[in-house]
Structure 1
C-alpha cells in the first residue's frame, strides 16, 4: 500500500524515467544554447575566462 500502483519503485521504471528525463533536459538545454549563440550572448562567462587565462587564444578568435 505504500508504493504507487504504477511501480515507480522498481529499478527498471526508475531507469526508464531517468533516460526519458535526461533526453528531454538535454534537448531543452541544447535549444537554450542555440538561442544564446544566435544572440551572441556569453551568459556563462566562457569568453571572459578565455580572455583572462588564455589571452593569446582570445586574440586569434572572433
Structure 2
C-alpha cells in the first residue's frame, strides 16, 4: 500500500509540474497518492517518474529551455 501524504495532486499541472514553481517536477512518494499497490509500489514510482520526465521534456521544448 502506498502511503498518503506529500504534495496534493491538484497542485500539479498535467505535466507533473508544481503550479506554484514552474520547472519543478514531482513524482513517486513526493506526491499524496494512496493505492492498494500490492507490491507494485516501485512500479508506480517508476511510472510516475517517467511521466514527470516526459512532462519536463515537453515543458523545456515549449519554453525553449
TM bin, normalised by shorter chain, reads 0.3 to 0.5
TM-score normalised to structure 2 length: 0.41
State the TM-score, normalizing by the size of structure 1: 0.42
Return the structure number with greater helix share. Answer: 1
The structure number with the bigger radius of gyration is 1
Larger RCO (CA under 8 A, 6+ residues apart)? 2
